[in-house]
Structure formats: structure tokens, C-alpha cells
Chains A and B, each alone.
Chain A
Amino acid sequence: MNIIEIKELTKNYPLGSTIVHALRGIDFNIASGDFLSIVGPSGSGKTTLLNIIGCIDNASSGSVNIGGVEITKLNDKEITDIRLHKIGFIFQTFNLIPVLDVLENVEFPLLLMKNRSKSEVKKRAESLIDAVGLSEHIKHRPSELSGGQRQRVAIARALVTNPDIVLADEPTANLDSATGEQILELMKEMNRKEKTTFIFSTHDSNVIKYAGYVLKIKDGKMVN
């Protein structure tokens, strides 16, 4: 079963009087439970593609269907709800709310959903924090954590709502390579455990070995 179906997706950015063609017609499907890596050099369109899948940018043309919902034609509220319920994000940096501790950050999306009791929320968040190995830091604020630990919190938070897909745009770019590998291991492990679809981008061909599938793009086009 395909969780994501992308057809003839293009994205143009106006830049002054010219137009940047960031995506020039992307076509592919992602099956539920995949661990997909989007690989390409800097400026190839990885971020643009992930942003569109993640409903934080809109397509210029083409269609993107996530779990049966065509996302290119939704208003702000519907888009926000899709982000909340169907997608988990792991960003390069600035993943966490500075004033909330680890537990509160992980609880945050669940509290926004407003459909669980406080104790359920706490239990779920704690189990994920445990899974990413941060039980000892549950009361720490993001500023008290290392870069790798922060990414772990981000992974726990991305997964806490049981989303259809977790999107991670170069999640290891700001980490040293050892830590980066640990993070990818963890993602892979969570992909297996939680059966959640993971899509992550990287320009580092070293990390490709973790990927189940690899989508290579260059200049906004898929390459084989």
C-alpha cells in the first residue's frame, strides 16, 4: 500500500525577474513502512521536496497524495491538522521549544491533539523517551542537551503521535559523524519498531547504507 503518491510535481521559486525551477517533475510512490533516503547534492531540491510532502510548502503543479488525501488543495487549518496528525518532523536544528523540558516537548503534539487524557499523554511520551534512550534527561531543557540528544528528543516527538510519515531533512548535518550514525541507527530501529514510514534527506553518500530505498535527485529531477 502506498502511503505517498507523487505525480508530476514541480516547484518554481520566483527570484527577482527569473524563476528558479527547484523541482522539475517528480513522480514516485512510497510504500507504508519504507525507510527512504532522498540523496542529492546541495541545491538539488531535497528540502523543497520534503517541505511539499510535509505540507509546509505548496507545489507549483502536480499532485501529492498522503494517505488518500490530496494535500495540494487544502486551507491553512486543514494543512495544520494534517501536519499534526499524519506527519512527524525532524529538522536539522531548532527542533525543540526552548522553554519546555524533554518530556513536555515530546508531549507537545499530543496535547495539541486534545484527544487523550493527561496520563495517557505522559505514558506515551515517556515510553518514546525511553525508546530513544533519554529517560535520565526527562526533566532537562533543550539547552541542557547535546546536539545528538536533541535529535533524539526530536525523533521521540516526531513519533509520539503515531504519524503516517516521519520527515527528516538532513537530520545529521549538524552532528559529528559518529553521533550522526547513532541517530540514523535509532531512526532505523524506530522504523522497524513503530512501522512508521521514514523519509530523510542527505547529501552525504556515507549514510545511504542505512536506507532501505534511495531516491537520487539532481537539479530538481530524479536520476537513476
Chain B
Amino acid sequence: MQLIFKIAWRNIFRHKGRSIIIGIILFLGALLMTVGSSVISGMDRGLEKNIVNGFLGDIVIIPEKEKSDNILFKLYGESVDTITNYKDIKKQLIKEDDLKDFLPVGKNVTTVLNEEDGDPGFTMVLGVDFKEYCNFFPDNFQLVEGDIKNGEGKQAVIKQKMVENQETGIVIPLKTREDLYDQMNVWLIPEKSRLVEENLSEDAKDNRSELKIKNTAVFMGMSSTNSTSDIRLTVKGIIKYSALNTIWGHFAIMDIESYRKCLGYFGASEKLDIIDEEKKKLLGLETDSIENLFGSTDVLVSDSGNVEVADIDFSKKEVSVVPTSRNGSSTNVDLEAGVYNLVFVKLKDNINLEDGVKRLNSTLSSSKLGVRAVTWKKASGFIGSMATIIKGALFLFVAFLFFVAIIIIVNTLTMAAIERTTEIGMMRAIGARKAMVTGMFIGETSILSGLFGGIGLVVGIAIAQLIPLFNITSENDIVQLLFGGDTFHPFLSMGDILVVIFELIVVTLITVIYPIIVAINITPLDAISRD
């Protein structure tokens, strides 16, 4: 063993040129593999952190009628089906051991009416109970314009406004504001605040003198199953999501009551309008299906804006109204009785995502709640698949490089074997077994890959550690996906490093197989017949 190692070691120095070629290839291979896997790991971790903790939770419960799991980025304008039995779902979710928390939300596309005779705008919105939302996603956005003075731009400012002061309104991300400006030529700013010049988009700056500035806008739901209604909302703040701002920035957030009104989910009178003529005929005859569609309890908002809870019994065409006061005792119970589109779910830390979603789905389907659970990866549609594509592309790239590397190394080593025919044949003649020849080749390649691959690995780890220090950021959606967030933050776990080492060993073994076959088939005769 020591002898084999000695010979292998010295042969490396004897054939310096060849060793350096193989060494450089192994160095680059290990380096690329390490950096590549740190990028992938960083992306995975970043996406998971920024999607799970920043926008969706681990699992999204969606209406069963939704054909696609991709609920977040449905074809623009297509509306999401409703969840009308949230209270029943909640009863079930509370019993689930796997879950840490859950949050019902409305999610749809709204039209923003143009009051200046221009084109309308469009934006995706979430309808949330701000108190619950801010608890579920603490500090996932900052206030960049608005009533910043007493909260330093923290989410808490909005929370205080919307929860403690019981205000209604909308918060709009920077990105959405720019999009709306492009569409409508109207620049939105929060109430009671002034234009912040440096936040103007390039186009808006160019148009500074004629800029139409507003702090309210009229939002109209675009729901295919319901008739639409509109609502004027005050802009409570311009926000920036803490991560993946360019992606989440397409989503404005409004309070759930306004959301329901906007989407036309609300109100006894509106409720009847919701049902178009054809449906009315059908539904009017079949009580069960009506109840299935809307549930037995709904939150209603009258035209005057008051929130009311009503038990609607369509069969009797009677409405019993329980009045509540906007300024007084509007409670969670009231809100939760209403219509939602989705429920975001967070799993406990130790629960595996796929297992968790499987278990949740089996309870959901057995309790016939008309909803199903999908993972954040599926729910986020193209984000999840883009991540997979980026990963796949990186993998293919690395695999291709390795393929080329393996071919070069195999070629070089095979030439080395042939070059050493006399030497090997002579060794065999004086009693060296095939195992010894094999050992020599494995030894040489292992030393090279241990040394150069090891250096590559260490340099790769160093690069992965250094990159975050440069604080590389991007505003580009795709690049942000690659980063898994706003900043490029590669990450290497011990497992990743072990995988790289394992891959290096596999590559070493693969490259050495053919040269070994060539070498052990060298007979003493091959050496002698050269004389």
C-alpha cells in the first residue's frame, strides 16, 4: 500500500504536465460543483424562506374547483374560486397537529378605474385581515411612503392603522404603483403625505410637470362567477416587500372587507345580483346547491359600507341581519364567516412539506370541505417551476462540464497507461499483480483529485462564503429567482459539501476505469517485444 502510494506520488511529479492538466480540470470541476451547489442551495433556501415566510406559507389551501394548483399566477384576469366555509375549514385545521399557523386570504385581480378618461389599470390584490396578516408574516414588507414617522417604515405602522384604528384601505407596492402609472398615467401616493420625488419612476420623472397625483383609487373586482362592484379605497401606504419585491410587488394588499366588497362577494342585495339569470333559474330550484355555493353564513356589507353578518336562507328568501358597527365590535368571528379564496398554512418546523401536504389533503378530502392543499412550490406556479428549471439548467451545465472533463481525463490517463507499457510490463514480469497496477492508477488519480479537487472545494467554499459579503442585488425577476431573494446569497450545508466530495470520488473512479483496463491488460510480453 505504502509502495503503491509512493510510486503513484512520484509518478505525479515525474509527469508534471499531465498531472497539472488533470489537476486543473479536477480543480475547476470541484470549484464549479461547489459554487454551483451553493448557488442552488442558496436559491432553494432563499426561495423557501422568502416564499414560505414572506408570502405564501408552506401550503396553500385552494378551492377544489380550481383546475390548476398554480393559484398565485393564474392567467392574468382569471378569477380564483371562492371558499365560503372557512369556519368549517378552520375547525378542521385547528385539530391538525402538523400545522403551526394558518391565514385565510382573498386573492384576485382587480381593475383600477381611471377617473381621468384614460385606460384602466390592473393589479393583483390580496384581501387580508391586517392583524392576522401581520402576525402571520411579521415584517414581510416595509412602508416606504406613508405615515412613517412613528414606526420607521415598519410593517407595524400599517398594522396599527388598519387594526387599531379600524381603517379600510389598500397598501400598494412600489412595483404596482409604477405599473399602474404606466397603464393609467396616475401616480398614487398615500393619504396625508407628499410626493417623494426620488421614488418616481423614470417615466413619471419625465412627465413630472403634468403628473396626476392621487391618494385614492376606485377598485373593481374582476370575478367571472360574480357580478362586479367597485369601491373607492384610500392608499394607506406604499410598501416594499422585504424580499422578492419584484415578484411580490405585483400584489397590493387591501383589508378583507373592502376586498369582498370589491369582488362583489358581499351584501344581501348584491348577493342576489351575483347570480346571473341562468344560474338564478338553476339555483332558485335547488336549495342544496345554493348552500353549497355560498355556505349558510356570509358577511355582508351594505352599500353604506357597514359590516353586517347575515344568515341567508335562500330557500326562504329571507335575510336575518345581525348588525355590527364598523367603529365598535367588529370581531374576527364576523370576518371569518365571509368569503375567502385561499388559506395560507404554515407547517411546524419539523414537518416535511410533502408529508404534511399529504396528511392535510387526506383530512380535507375526508371531511368534504370542498378544498385541497397544495405545496408552495405548486401554488407559486412559475416561480416553483422556474426554480426547478434554473436548477436543471445548472445541473445540466455542471454535468456537461463533467462529461467533457471525464473525457479529457480518461484520454490523458489512457495515454499515460500506453506510454508506460514497458514500465508496467516489466513490473508485471518481476511479479507485480494486476491489483498493484490498478492501485497505482487509482492512487495517482486519487491524489490528484484529493489535492486539486480539495483545493477546488476549499476555494469554492470560500467563494460561497465571500459572495454574500459583496451584497450583490438584482431588480430582475429571473435573477431574483436565481438568488432566491433580492440578494445573492449562496449557501453550503455540510450535506452539500459531502455531496460534492462524493461526486468527486465518483468522477475519480469513473475516469480511472478505462485507463486501468488498458493498463492491466499490458503483459510482460508487451514490454519485452519492444526490445
Please give the residue numbers on chain A whose beta carbons come within 8 Å of chain B beta carbons, in ascending order: 47, 51, 54, 56-57, 76-77, 80-81, 83-85, 88-89, 91-95, 97-100, 104, 108-109, 111-113, 157, 161, 169-170
Contacts and interface: CB of A to CB of B under 8 A. Distances in A.
A99 B427 CA distance: 12
Interface in B432-467: 432-434, 436
B528 A98 contact: no
Nearest to B422: A94
Interface centre among A91, A100, A104, A169 (most CB of B within 10 A): A91
B430 A157 contact: yes
Contacts of A93: 531
Nearest to B11: A99
Given A56-B528, A94-B527, A99-B7, A83 B430 contact: yes
Interface residues of B, number: 25
B7 A56 contact: no
A100 B6 CA distance: 9
B436 A112 contact: yes
Interface of B: 3, 6-7, 10-11, 14, 422-423, 426-434, 436, 523-525, 527-528, 530-531
B14 A98 contact: yes
Contacts of B6: 100, 104
Given A80-B432, A99-B14, 6 more contacts: A77-B433, A91-B429, A91-B528, A97-B423, A100-B10, A112-B430
A89 B7 contact: no
A157 B426 CA distance: 12
B7 A97 contact: yes
B430 A84 contact: yes
A178 B75 CA distance: 96
A51 B431 contact: no
B430 A81 contact: no
Contacts of A80: 428, 431-433
A84 B428 CA distance: 9
Given A76-B434, A93-B531, A54 B423 contact: no
Contacts of A85: 431
Contacts of B434: 76
Given A56-B523, A84-B430, A91 B531 contact: yes
A6 B156 CA distance: 102
A109 B431 contact: yes
A105 B528 CA distance: 19
A97 B528 contact: no
A115 to B, nearest CB: 13
B423 A98 contact: yes
A94 B426 contact: yes
Contacts of A51: 525, 528
A108 B531 CA distance: 23
A77 B436 CA distance: 12
B3 A83 contact: no
A170 B530 CA distance: 14
12 contacts: A51-B528, A56-B523, A84-B430, A89-B426, A89-B429, A91-B531, A94-B423, A94-B530, A100-B6, A100-B7, A112-B433, A157-B430
A56 B426 CA distance: 10
Contacts of B436: 112
Interface centre among A80, A83, A92, A169 (most CB of B within 10 A): A80
Contact of A84 (B11, B431, B523, B527): B431
B528 A169 contact: yes
A97 B433 contact: no
Contacts of A98: 14, 423
B492 to A, nearest CB: 38
Contacts of B428: 80
> Across chains A and B, which 6 residue pairs bring their CB atoms closest together, nearest first?
A84-B431, A99-B10, A56-B524, A94-B422, A92-B531, A83-B431
Contacts of A104: 6
Contacts of B531: 47, 91-94, 169-170
Contacts of B430: 83-84, 88-89, 108-109, 112, 157
Contacts of B423: 94, 97-98
B431 A97 contact: no
A100 B434 CA distance: 19
Contacts of B10: 99-100
Contact of A95 (B7, B11, B426, B432): B426
A178 B531 CA distance: 22
Contacts of A54: 429
A35 to B, nearest CB: 21
B231 to A, nearest CB: 86
B525 A57 contact: yes
B15 to A, nearest CB: 10
Contacts of A161: 431
Contacts of B427: 97, 108
Given A92-B531, A99-B7, A112-B436, A81 B14 contact: no
Contacts of A112: 430-433, 436
A81 B431 contact: yes
A124 B434 CA distance: 26
Contact of B528 (A47, A83, A88, A113): A47
B429 A56 contact: yes
Contacts of B3: 108, 111
A93 B528 CA distance: 9
A71 B3 CA distance: 29
A169 B7 CA distance: 27
Contacts of A89: 426, 429-430
Contacts of A81: 431
